[in-house]
């Protein structure tokens, strides 16, 4: 049985930017402190929600090092080190290990794609070069690549590949993966609307976008399910389903950054090619945020 990196809700934290486009490290530090104070179980830095595709290699490395140092072992720090370039993924992973990351989050190779055999070779190549536990990340809606349950079985045989963030939306596939891999591969939900369902199948928690705006809620949905209170978790999941859904009314992290600005958090805009969402979407986000009493009297920034 492999060690579990964390149980509960890890936040896929945004990367805040200043008006000039640079990374706003004071705000990032404040976000990390607030997340930990409000019950978040892990910090996931430089993931999709952190806009990793538009971070330069230097920014990527610096953000991981900052998160590790600032978190100071209060909760695990999981560093996004995936790439469609296997050699670069290994380089990022080695750096994250060197600065003290507790785990690595590795997305499937995107754009150039890969066969299932190629996926195994890709992930094994990196896993052979680090000692830090690896969490796979399966999000075919973004990458065009889906990890099959049988491929998970092969990947789970590597002692350093300990978990997956599953965001393919296919509950049946998750059930098959759990059946094949058992305790050799922990499963985290990559979709906030499926936290209860995946934990009911034996999952360990969620890597969450929702946690950026409602960390206590994401934590509680996961914690209740992990504790065996599936009914209580499901009730909370359904109560907050509208917010889970509206945070994906546009490409992530456009909506969640807009929602955070409505909370008065100075996270800045997204970097191009991501841009502001429509007025109609902003109205939807604001309405749901107001329903849950999450809108600040003095929002940060100007919506556009």
Transcribe 17-59 into DSSP letters.
Answer: B-TTS-B-HHHHHHHHHHHHHTT--EEEESSTTTTGGGS-HHH
The answer to whether residue 228 sits within a structural domain is yes
pLDDT for the residue numbered 296? 82
The answer to whether residue 176 sits within a structural domain is yes
Report the alpha-carbon distance of residue 82 to residue 52 in Å, rounded: 9
Q: List the catalytic residues.
A: 137, 165
Contact 104, 130 (CB under 8 A): yes
Residue 161 belongs to domain spanning: 8-235
Question: Total domain count for the chain?
Answer: 1
SS3 label, residue 77: strand
Per the structure block, which two tokens stand in for 165?
């963030």
The answer to whether residue 302 sits within a structural domain is no
Query: The whole model's pTM is what?
Result: 0.95
pLDDT for the residue numbered 2? 82
Cis, bond preceding 253 (omega within 30 deg of 0)? yes
The answer to whether residue 1 sits within a structural domain is no
Provide CB contacts within 8 A for 39, sequence distance 6+: 9, 215, 216, 219, 220
Cβ-based burial of 40 (10 A; exposed 0-12, middle 13-18, buried ≥19): buried
The answer to whether residue 120 sits within a structural domain is yes
In a structure prediction context, what are the per-residue pLDDT tens digits for the chain, which is 304 residues long? 688 999 999 999 999 999 999 999 999 999 999 999 999 999 999 999 999 999 999 999 999 999 999 999 999 999 999 999 999 999 999 999 999 999 999 999 999 989 999 999 999 999 999 999 999 999 999 999 999 999 999 999 999 999 999 999 999 999 999 999 999 999 999 999 999 999 999 999 999 999 999 999 999 999 999 999 999 999 999 999 999 999 999 999 999 999 999 999 999 999 999 999 999 999 999 999 999 999 986 666 544 3
What CATH number is given to the structural domain containing 85? 3.20.20.70
The answer to whether residue 179 sits within a structural domain is yes
Report the alpha-carbon distance of residue 77 to residue 80 in Å, rounded: 10
pLDDT for the residue numbered 299? 63
Report the alpha-carbon distance of residue 52 to residue 60 in Å, rounded: 7
Cis, bond preceding 66 (omega within 30 deg of 0)? no
The answer to whether residue 257 sits within a structural domain is no
The answer to whether residue 198 sits within a structural domain is yes
SS3 label, residue 271: coil
Tell which phi-psi region holds residue 170, choosing left (phi > 0), alpha (psi between -120 and 50) or beta: beta
Report the alpha-carbon distance of residue 131 to residue 96 in Å, rounded: 11
Q: Which is nearest to 215 in space by CA: 30, 41, 33, 40?
A: 40
Contact 108, 114 (CB under 8 A): yes
């Amino acid at each position: 049985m492999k060690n579990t990196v964390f149980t509960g809700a890890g936040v896929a934290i945004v990367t805040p930017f200043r008006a000039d486009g640079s990374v706003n490290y004071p705000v990032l530090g404040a976000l990390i402190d607030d997340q930990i104070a409000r019950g978040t179980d892990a910090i996931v830095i430089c993931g999709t929600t952190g806009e990793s595709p538009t971070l330069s290699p230097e920014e990527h490395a610096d953000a991981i090092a900052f998160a590790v140092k600032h978190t100071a072992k209060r909760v695990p720090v999981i560093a996004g080190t995936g790439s469609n370039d296997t050699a670069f993924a290994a380089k990022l992973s080695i750096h994250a290990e060197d600065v003290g990351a507790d785990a690595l989050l590795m997305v499937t190779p995107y754009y150039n794609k890969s066969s299932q055999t190629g996926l195994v070779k890709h992930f094994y190549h990196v896993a052979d070069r680090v000692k830090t536990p690896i969490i796979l990340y399966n999000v075919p809606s973004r990458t065009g690549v889906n990890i099959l349950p049988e491929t998970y079985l092969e990947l789970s045989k590597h002692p350093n590949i300990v978990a997956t963030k599953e965001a393919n939306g296919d509950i049946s596939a998750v059930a098959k993966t759990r059946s094949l891999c058992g305790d050799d591969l922990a499963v985290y939900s990559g979709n906030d609307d499926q936290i209860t369902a995946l934990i009911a199948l034996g999952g360990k928690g969620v890597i969450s976008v929702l946690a950026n705006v409602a960390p206590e809620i994401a934590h509680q949905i996961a914690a209740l399910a992990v504790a065996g209170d599936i009914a209580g978790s499901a009730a909370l999941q359904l109560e907050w389903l509208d917010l889970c859904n509206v945070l994906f009314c546009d490409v992530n992290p456009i909506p969640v950054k807009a929602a955070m600005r409505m909370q008065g958090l100075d996270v800045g805009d997204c970097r191009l090619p991501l841009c502001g969402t429509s007025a109609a979407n902003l109205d939807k986000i604001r309405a749901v945020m107001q329903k849950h009493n999450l809108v600040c009297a003095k929002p940060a920034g100007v919506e556009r």
